[in-house]
Structure formats: C-alpha cells, structure tokens
Amino acid sequence: MATNRTFTMIKPDAVENGHMGKIIDMIIQAGFDIKAMKYTRLSEDKAKEFYAVHAERPFYGELVEYMSSGPIVAAILEKENAVEDFRKLIGATDPAEAAEGTIRAKYAENKGRNAVHGSDSDENAEIEGKFHFAANEIF
Ligand code: IDP
Ligand code: MG
C-alpha cells in the first residue's frame, strides 16, 4: 500500500550552485508537504551506507565522494502518490534526458552531479527517511 511519503536530498552540487531555495519552492509548489527537513552533510561512511545498493557499479566511488563533498538538504515529503509524482518532478537521472521543466533539467550539472535524490519505492522511502531522521524530527 502507498505510504504517500517519499524521501529527497538536495545534493551537494545544487546547494553549492545556489539552487537550494528554488528547488524547495518547486517541491512546495508541486503540492508536497514537508514532514521533516535538515541541512546536513553525509560523512564518507554514511554516503557509502546510503548508496550500498550501488556498491558494485563503476561509479560508486565517485558517487560516495561527491555525496560527502559538501552540505545537503535531506527531507521527507508527503503527497498522494508521493514516490511516483516526485520522480516525475525531478526527471530522469541524466539531465540531458530529463523532461523540460523538471528539477534535474533545470538545475543538474550532469548524470552524476544531478541536483536531487528521490526514493524509487515506498519501501525505500521509509528506509531512507529513517536513515536521516529520528521519530521526533518527523512532523
Ligand atoms: P536515480 O538517482 O535517478 O534513482 P540511480 O540509478 O539510482 O539514479 O543512481 C543513483 C545516483 O548515482 C544518481 O542519482 C547519480 O548521482 C549517480 N549515478 C547514476 N548513474 C551514474 C553514472 O553513470 N555515472 C555517474 N554517476 C551516476
Ligand atoms: Mg535510485
């Protein structure tokens, strides 16, 4: 059953490039309620753990280095059909393939430094949300 929640990170490139506010505004304007949010930084170990499913991929080392390279915004978002609708709002992994008007089309640098994360399933949304937030940080 759909939980109507998803998890996102505004990634280091987007924060560094000054897009944090515009991305949060797009998320709110698209109808997502913010249930939890923090400005934080992943340690190398935490980035390794978060992306463990990609450990065998050739870009894993690069991904871990990038995701721990600077501050991020982590957030839990709520909306009907949250996971699927948020993936639509962010667009394809590679901004060159992302639909016009999506967050990645507007703000991502490339396939690796692609501005935002969005959970790919209800199950992962829950796991990823709990990875970043304690129960008393979720509203
Ligand atoms: P997703 O973020 O759209 O779900 P995934 O395939 O789950 O994409 O990959 C996780 C993250 O790994 C991507 O968002 C991107 O930052 C990075 N990544 C994916 N594919 C590549 C690649 O081919 N080169 C470099 N980085 C990549
Ligand atoms: Mg993914």
CATH number at 31 reads: 3.30.70.141
- What gap in Å lies between CA 76 and CA 38, rounded to an integer? 10
Look at residue 2 in the predicted model and tell me its pLDDT: 61
pLDDT tens across 11-57, in order? 999 999 999 999 999 999 999 999 999 999 999 999 999 999 999 99
Mutational test site, ligand 1, from 13, 114, 117, 120, max ligand atoms within 8 Å of CB: 114
71: DSSP letter: -
Residue 1 pLDDT more than 80? no
pTM: 0.97
pLDDT tens across 73-116, in order? 999 999 999 999 999 999 999 999 999 999 999 999 999 999 99
Q: What domain count does the chain have?
A: 1
Cβ of 117 closer than 6 Å to ligand 1, yes or no, is yes
Boundaries of domain holding 49 = 5-137
On whether the CB atoms of residues 31 and 96 are closer than 8 A, the answer is no
